[in-house]
Structure 1
Amino acid sequence: MNRAMIDYRYDEQSLRIIEVDNTEDMEFNIQIVDEGAYLEGIKQVKAFFDDNRVYTDVLFYAYNNNEYRVIVREDYYVDFILAMFKHRLLKSVEWKNA
């Protein structure tokens, strides 16, 4: 899966998302600025991946100030993006034209 083929948008006033490509996986640094709108959503995304049978698909590390480091295995990148969209952390997700 070519991660560059997916584009997503989010509320930049309420969230900060930075992606770092680590060759075999993708690392997300997420800070939730607006707790009321997004804190429950990130918890639901975490619970979804914590409860499935694959332990190494998405790993969450929580820090102070509602900051999260999330390591996503390459083959679960789309699943993670769609879970964030499902729980309303993202405003839109679309495939880019190749």
Structure 2
Amino acid sequence: MKNLTYEVNKSQIYLKEQDDAGDCAFMIQAKTNDALNRLRQMKIFFESDKVSTDILFYPQKDKVYQVIVRKEVYTAFIVHLFQLQLLKTVQWNGIA
């Protein structure tokens, strides 16, 4: 999203974001077992949501998750990464 920027905690994860037909697709690779456990916690948290198709997690090999995030819940997803200390900063841009 253009109005929200973040800084990845590079000691914990590698993260790549791209647009995917109106949604956002993330490739997230855990660099530590602790980060992998945090990603698993996040997966469980969002899968327990009332609308289980808002965020879809697809485990890959080598501690990688492909995550599809609907634009309506993008901010909640980013904030949750921040809460789990997988992001260092989150900032709104152009908001007065």
1:4-43 alignment runs, 5 A limit: 4-36=2-34, 38-43=35-40
Q: Give the partner amino acid of 2:69.
A: V
- Which moves more between the two structures, 39-48 or 75-84? 39-48
Picking from 83, 86, 91, the partner of 1:86 is 83
Task: Give the 3-state SS of the residue equivalent to 1:41 in structure 2.
Answer: helix
Unmatched 5+ residue regions in structure 2? none
Picking from 58, 61, 65, the partner of 2:58 is 61
Q: Give the partner amino acid of 1:45.
A: M
Give the conservation status (yes or no) of the 8 Å contact 1:20–1:27. yes
How many residues align structurally? 95
TM value normalised by structure 1: 0.89
Unmatched 5+ residue regions in structure 1? none
Name the counterpart of 2:69.
Answer: 72
Task: Give me the CA root mean square deviation.
Answer: 1.3
TM value normalised by structure 2: 0.91
